[in-house]
Structure 1
Amino acid sequence: MKKNLIVVLGGGESGVGAALLSKKMGFKPFVSDSGVILNKYKKILVENGISFEEKGHTENIIIQKSIKVIKSPGISREDPLIKKINYLGIPIVSELEFGKNYRNTSYIISITGSNGKTTTSHIVYKILKKEGIHVGIAGNIGRSFSREVLNKKKDVYVLEVSSFQLDDCFKFRSNIAVLLNITRDHLNRYNNSFEKYIFSKFRIATHQNKEDIFIYNHDDPIIRKEFKKYPIVSNCIPFSIKEKLHVGAYIKWNHIFFRNKNQEEIGILNVEKIPLKGDHNLSNVMAAVLVSSTLNVQKKSIISTILELTPIEHRMEKVLNINGVQFINDSKATNVNSVFYALKSMNAPTIWIAGGQDKGNDYEELLPLVKEKVKAIIFLGKENKKFVNFFQDVIDIMVETESLRQAVRIAYLLSIHGDNILLSPACSSFNLFKDYKERGHKFKQEVRKLFYEKNRYFFE
């Protein structure tokens, strides 16, 4: 048993994907989760004859019998069990590296950043697919890389990669790596050290070789400052929405331009025609343009895909307008910088629904926008003391709630015709919901219930 047992810590998407792949590779997987494994994942494990346990770890199996441990990115490296495994010298492998070893001849495009990862990954994937490239998409986007590679081999994989995933990567190499931005996020995971979080993000570039490509946001002051500290040997290509660059992508005459390695300047499209609005989305689009142009994708494939873009679910998603009050679902905004762009885009008085599990946030950058645009704040959950204390001298109306049903109804009671009600939490959802998707779906559900109540006579 010792010779081929692989322990997978965590029974979520990445863990189940790793377990399925390890079985395919001839190992005997054992899934161990400290919490409850969702029924949909239990069903997969049972159907594939994979042993598992939940609500606790059997340490003697993990420590005495496993040849390798694949760790869920949700488990901190500071966890006592992980420290013990490291101390005993049992190899810990990330799910990403495990998947890459199985598909080591495929071309890998990895995209990270505090914000915009999902949007940019989707844009790149759609452009490459339109070009006719045999492409897959996976990672933090919802489907584990290990599970994706079990399907028919793709020539190219687009991976959304989080800092937690990068923490566990020591050999994972991307042919193209994209770093969109770095803002204060998840600092509770990094002992309140911004430097450790920055180091984690730059792993996406420091693992590359000389023939690889590193695409980065020239406008981000943190990236520019920290760039010089790291041993990056890949070909570095910047993008900017603020200044004209000698290489990379930039804005000129209100058009996106790309300068290739031959110093030829190629115009892509008019910024005004891009369906996704806001500077943050423009940066995401430009990063995708750079990836595609670097791969010599035809200009027509890039342009037609961008013109067809629609907002992703839970990101500035307009839900319903109820009697002149617009409800907006921005549940994916789990950090301060995401909320900054959300509030910046508000063109009407806004009732802001926020709160959840604080991740070491600094709300200072939101202060001017909150003063200018927010008329009331509705807090979700029970851990909002820091939030309340920070804004109590700025906002007169602040209400704490314990459910989205309460939050939606109180927000509507405080609104008048022409207002926006914005769910943009700035925090993770774990004290009330399993993830931002469940929070966003619940918000939309409550808004629809409210719409029915206010317009019941139309349905009777």
Structure 2
Amino acid sequence: MSSAAKKLLVVLGAGESGTGAAVLARQQGYDVFVSDLGSIGDKYKQELDSLGIAYEEGTHTEERILAAAEVVKSPGIPSKAPMIKKLVEKAVPVISEIEFAARYTDAKMICITGSNGKSTTTMLTYHILKNAGVNVGLAGNIGKSFAKQVATESFGYYVLEISSFMLDDMYRFKADIAVLLNITPDHLDRYEYNMENYADSKFRILQNQTSDDVFIYCADDPETIAGMQRHPVKATAYPFSITNTLTSGAWLENNDLVINLNNHNSFNMSVNDLALQGKHNIYNSMASGITAKVLELRNQTIRESMSNFTGIEHRLEFVARISGIDFINDSKATNVNSTWYALESVSPSVILILGGVDKGNDYSMLKELVKTKVRAIVCLGKDTKRIHDAFEEDVDMIVNTFSAKEATQIAFHMAKKGDTVLLSPACASFDLFRNYEDRGEQFKQAVKEL
């Protein structure tokens, strides 16, 4: 307690993670000041008020912030932001909420990162542990603030979804079990448009690990394998693969998912029994399954959990079947790679709803799948030129729309029995919606009204 006594901790950003960090800091005896350049939600204001924590919104008061002994910043604030640069010049430590909160818990950390599949794998892993009776919390890029849970709960384990932005501000933190699902181009605007910089950021998930810890990775992912040459692994490593049979880790044999760690009590289950279907979800299930086996959970429990998991909202979420047409909400697909996974996992033929704010997307990786599976594309967004340029030769029809309702109605009219209408935009949502959740909700509402 005394080490924090009245040291000034400044929290930049007052969303879920920032408010949680402020709550924990106050509990640990810090003098706390919260500053948000945007506006602060009423729910978070009430929480800060109830604890008497000082805050400001719509501005950053420089002298107060620069007086900090330490700063916890929201993952959404880039390191290039002027205030962050000033703090770094002044040698004030700038850390993430995860780094800060981890100091105050002895819980074991299961940390999941990767460009795609991390929310699903995090939720599935949490689901397996919870069903096995493990005292486990869920946090990071998902659910409730990690810091707030450290302040108010007493979990023995945490399953944390960790983004590269969080990892960039983590230094002493250690994952007891680190999972790296894959590395594909995303957020390159934050990494000088350099893939190696982005990959190195993901590999921070390994920092501070020792031979007592575990690293779970995809042996089929070329960027991960290349990264492992640059970042030596000290932990016990378990690969997973769907193309090769391995001696330890997880792999496919005939149609069975097999997990074997050091040749005792191996696990196997038919991929047809997995709740999550599609190639990418076999990877997600393998990563979660290895984690469960590392913790020595019972095979029966793992099998049950993997077969009854219901998936997550806005990620390949089945909405309805109307007149023999399936509607799937994959609004969380904000990059091309996510849309590739979605197309790969649904059966032909597809009416694809694409578009939004394009982060410099390279659509070429979708071309083959679009040719073989997609009948028509419905563009949803203000700027659709690049989608037209990329696919006009591959599909019969491309139509522009400017609302979720319009896109849904047009897709329904184009579809015939046996088709799938897939909202998987490959773009951010900020041109027409508040966020990807808002986009997904509006799509689901529009489907209900058909």
Scaled by the length of structure 2, the TM-score of the pair is 0.94
Q: 1:418 to 1:256 in 2, by over 3 A?
A: closer
| Residue 70 of structure 1 pairs with residue 72 of structure 2 | yes
Q: 1:346 to 1:130 in 2, by over 3 A?
A: closer
Give the Cα–Cα distance (whole angstroms) in 2 for the partners of residues 207 and 386 of structure 1. 43
| Contact map agreement 2:334 2:428 (CA 8 A) in 1 | yes
Partner of 1:457: none
| Contact map agreement 2:429 2:436 (CA 8 A) in 1 | yes
| Contact map agreement 1:214 1:235 (CA 8 A) in 2 | yes
Q: Is 394-403 or 181-190 further displaced after alignment?
A: 394-403
What letter is aligned with 1:132?
G
| Contact map agreement 2:177 2:215 (CA 8 A) in 1 | yes
Q: 1:220 to 1:409 in 2, by over 3 A?
A: same
Give the Cα–Cα distance (whole angstroms) in 2 for the partners of residues 117 and 135 of structure 1. 18
After superposition, residues 98-113 of structure 1 pair within 5 angstroms as 98-103=100-105, 105-113=106-114
Give the Cα–Cα distance (whole angstroms) in 2 for the partners of residues 199 and 239 of structure 1. 21
| Contact map agreement 1:185 1:360 (CA 8 A) in 2 | no
SS for the counterpart of 1:150 is: helix
Partner of 2:57: 54
Q: 4+ runs of 1 displaced by more than 6 Å?
A: none
Q: 1:116 to 1:22 in 2, by over 3 A?
A: same
Instruction: Note the alpha carbon deviations across 1:34-74, whole angstroms, 9 max, x for none.
Output: 112222222222222222222221212111x2211110000
Partner of 2:92: 90
Please report how far the alpha carbon of residue 161 of structure 1 lies from its aligned counterpart in structure 2 after TM superposition. Answer: 0.6
SS for the counterpart of 2:433 is: coil
| Contact map agreement 1:185 1:361 (CA 8 A) in 2 | no
Give the Cα–Cα distance (whole angstroms) in 2 for the partners of residues 210 and 419 of structure 1. 50
Please report how far the alpha carbon of residue 265 of structure 1 lies from its aligned counterpart in structure 2 after TM superposition. Answer: 6.4
After superposition, residues 303-342 of structure 1 pair within 5 angstroms as 303-342=303-342
Partner of 2:424: 424
Partner of 1:194: 195
Q: 1:396 to 1:180 in 2, by over 3 A?
A: same
After superposition, residues 259-274 of structure 1 pair within 5 angstroms as 259-261=260-262, 263-264=263-264, 266-274=266-274
Give the Cα–Cα distance (whole angstroms) in 2 for the partners of residues 177 and 101 of structure 1. 18
What letter is aligned with 2:213?
D
Give the Cα–Cα distance (whole angstroms) in 2 for the partners of residues 74 and 294 of structure 1. 33
Please report how far the alpha carbon of residue 2 of structure 1 lies from its aligned counterpart in structure 2 after TM superposition. Answer: 11
What letter is aligned with 2:128?
I
Identical residues among aligned pairs (%): 46
Q: 1:384 to 1:77 in 2, by over 3 A?
A: farther
| Contact map agreement 1:187 1:360 (CA 8 A) in 2 | no
Q: 1:194 to 1:102 in 2, by over 3 A?
A: same
| Residue 126 of structure 1 pairs with residue 127 of structure 2 | yes
What letter is aligned with 1:381?
G
Please report how far the alpha carbon of residue 354 of structure 1 lies from its aligned counterpart in structure 2 after TM superposition. Answer: 1.4
What letter is aligned with 2:398?
M
| Contact map agreement 1:135 1:157 (CA 8 A) in 2 | yes
Please report how far the alpha carbon of residue 314 of structure 1 lies from its aligned counterpart in structure 2 after TM superposition. Answer: 1.1
Partner of 2:227: 226
Pairing partner for 1:19 from 22, 33, 37: 22
Q: 1:118 to 1:182 in 2, by over 3 A?
A: same
After superposition, residues 131-150 of structure 1 pair within 5 angstroms as 131-150=132-151
| Contact map agreement 2:5 2:29 (CA 8 A) in 1 | no
| Contact map agreement 2:314 2:329 (CA 8 A) in 1 | yes
Please report how far the alpha carbon of residue 267 of structure 1 lies from its aligned counterpart in structure 2 after TM superposition. Answer: 3.3
Partner of 2:407: 407
SS for the counterpart of 2:45 is: helix
| Contact map agreement 2:249 2:290 (CA 8 A) in 1 | yes
Give the Cα–Cα distance (whole angstroms) in 2 for the partners of residues 387 and 376 of structure 1. 12
- Structure 1 portions without partners, runs of 5+: 452-460
Give the Cα–Cα distance (whole angstroms) in 2 for the partners of residues 433 and 10 of structure 1. 21
- Structure 2 portions without partners, runs of 5+: none
What letter is aligned with 2:303?
I
Give the Cα–Cα distance (whole angstroms) in 2 for the partners of residues 277 and 326 of structure 1. 15
After superposition, residues 432-443 of structure 1 pair within 5 angstroms as 432-443=432-443
Partner of 1:161: 162
Please report how far the alpha carbon of residue 440 of structure 1 lies from its aligned counterpart in structure 2 after TM superposition. Answer: 1.0
Partner of 2:388: 388
Instruction: Note the alpha carbon deviations across 1:134-179, whole angstroms, 9 max, x for none.
Output: 1111111122211121222111111011111111111211000000
| Contact map agreement 2:351 2:378 (CA 8 A) in 1 | yes
Scaled by the length of structure 1, the TM-score of the pair is 0.92
Q: 1:37 to 1:381 in 2, by over 3 A?
A: farther
Give the Cα–Cα distance (whole angstroms) in 2 for the partners of residues 119 and 403 of structure 1. 27
Please report how far the alpha carbon of residue 386 of structure 1 lies from its aligned counterpart in structure 2 after TM superposition. Answer: 3.0
Give the Cα–Cα distance (whole angstroms) in 2 for the partners of residues 133 and 106 of structure 1. 12
Please report how far the alpha carbon of residue 343 of structure 1 lies from its aligned counterpart in structure 2 after TM superposition. Answer: 1.1
Partner of 1:206: 207
Give the Cα–Cα distance (whole angstroms) in 2 for the partners of residues 155 and 127 of structure 1. 15
Partner of 1:30: 33
Root mean square deviation of aligned Cα: 1.9
| Contact map agreement 2:352 2:421 (CA 8 A) in 1 | yes
